[in-house]
Amino acid sequence: MEPTAQRTEAPRRPRQWLELAAVLLVVFALPALFRVPVTGPAAVAGYGDGTKPAGAPAFDLAPLQQLRAVQPDYLFVGNSNTTTRIDEQRLGELLDASVLVQATDGTTGVHWYLQLVNHLIPSGARPRTLFVLFRDDELLSFSQTRPELLLAWSQDFEPAFEAIHQADCTTRSMRMQAAADRGITALWPLAAVESDNLYPLADALTPAAILQGRPATVFHTDLNRRFGLGHMRPVASDGMTDLGKHSGSGDFAARARCSVLPHLLQAAADAELDLVLVRVQRRTWTGDDQEIEALVRQLADFAADHGVPLVDFSGDPEIPAEWYGTVDHIADEHRETWTELFHQRVFVEGLGR
């Protein structure tokens, strides 16, 4: 059998090369011809030029109007870690003053900066203190979370964004990745599609009995609500890298230059606002992450240089693990106690002041 196999192999090799060429052509080259109209969050890309893209939502006046109406003595800005910690009513009672929490889930430093320059300062309200509550590096990230809020809270042109855009904030690996992505998209335009295309397909196949007359968008909103934070196990936060993971990597100066932090501090100083930064503790905080701790120390020094104190609640012995609800949030039943602890630390003991 062996000699026969060898005799028949020779003429077959050219054919095998042809077959390999056919694989390369059909499997890899043919999909290069497929194109679909790309629809997606292109609006966000407008920030790359520091301008608001066409078709952006109208400016959101509601927070500004609320500030004018309430004229708070103490204003709190942050994300869901603020709303789950600060009990407006209880703190108001303790301070005998008006307290307002203007915090929105999923926001970071970029949004808080916009709230300061586009809501608080133009509103004319002058709280005695503006508290910005953050986790680890949230003031140092120029992340694109909640892009719809970035659009709704910004003016047509944001000089701070333009300044950040002009700064060289990309790392070598980011530039390489971007170049590779561009190359792949040039070869295969279909690769530009970045959405969960299987959900629209599933929607199309879903019987009316399941949708119960709801449009797909409403159905998905309801579905997302079922899987929302309010229905999550506490331990589930460990796997929620998007919400819970922060990075202390990178040089502080470079990260600050590529963030809104200097602009935030400067804007507060220009408006003669008493700003206090408050670092809230993550559920999984142990103090062992040296990079994060070093970053926060440098952040505190940087803020102090601008006359802004930083209160750090990480490692506070009075905050037990049982207080936590979902992710890094404080459970509803412990919010009041956390607020009282905050009052004790900041207003009685004067931490960070």
Partner 1 sequence: MLFQSLDFMAFLAAVLVLYWLLPRRGQNLLLLVSSAVFYGYIHPWFLLLLLTSTLCDYGCGRGIAERPRHRRLWLAISLCVNLGMLGTFKYFGFFVDNVQQLCDTLGVPLSGPTLGLVLPVGISFYTFQTLGYTIDVYRGKVKARRDLLDYAVFVTFFPQLVAGPIERASRFLPQVEAPRRLEPGRLRDGLLLMVQGFFVKLVIADNVGITADRVFQLSDPGWPLLWVGVLAFCVQIFADFSAYTDIARGTARLLGFELTENFRQPYLSRGPAEFWRRWHISLSYWMRDYIYVPLGGSRVTRRRWALNILVVFGISGLWHGASWNFVGWGLYWGLLIVAARALAGITPKAVQQAPLVQPLRLAATFALTCVGWLIFRESNTGWLLHYLTLSPFDSPPEDWVWAAYLLLHLLLCSSPLLVRAVARAVLIRWPLSADRALLLRLLVGCFYFTGILALRSMRGPDFIYFQF
By CB under 8 A, name the binding residues for partner 1. 13, 16-17, 19-20, 22-24, 26-28, 30-31, 34, 36, 177, 180, 188, 190-191, 193-194, 196-199, 201-202, 205-206, 210, 212, 219, 223, 226-227, 231-236, 239-240
CA 215 to chain centre: 28
CA gap 281, 298 in Å, rounded: 17
Give the shortest CB-190-to-partner 1 separation in angstroms.
4
Give the shortest CB-211-to-partner 1 separation in angstroms.
8
Q: Which is nearer to partner 1, 36 or 253 (CB)?
A: 36
Give the shortest CB-74-to-partner 1 separation in angstroms.
33
167 SS3 class: coil
Give the shortest CB-20-to-partner 1 separation in angstroms.
4
Query: Which phi and psi (to 5°) does residue 130 adopt?
Result: -105, 120
Q: Which of 114, 95, 112 is nearest to 47 (CA)?
A: 114
Q: Which of 74, 72, 67, 82 is nearest to 339 (CA)?
A: 82
Give the shortest CB-292-to-partner 1 separation in angstroms.
16
Give the shortest CB-101-to-partner 1 separation in angstroms.
25
Q: Which is nearer to partner 1, 279 or 329 (CB)?
A: 329
CA distances from 120 to 103, 109, 284 (A): 13, 15, 33
Q: Which is nearer to partner 1, 58 or 227 (CB)?
A: 227
Name the amino acid, one letter, at 333.
Answer: E
Q: Which is nearer to partner 1, 166 or 241 (CB)?
A: 241
CA gap 309, 292 in Å, rounded: 18
Query: Which phi and psi (to 5°) does residue 278 adopt?
Result: -125, 115
Q: Which is nearer to partner 1, 28 or 157 (CB)?
A: 28
Q: Which of 243, 226, 227 is nearest to 327 (CA)?
A: 243
Q: Which is nearer to partner 1, 128 or 175 (CB)?
A: 175
| Exposure letters 336-345 (e unless 16+ CB within 10 A, then b) | eebbebbbeb
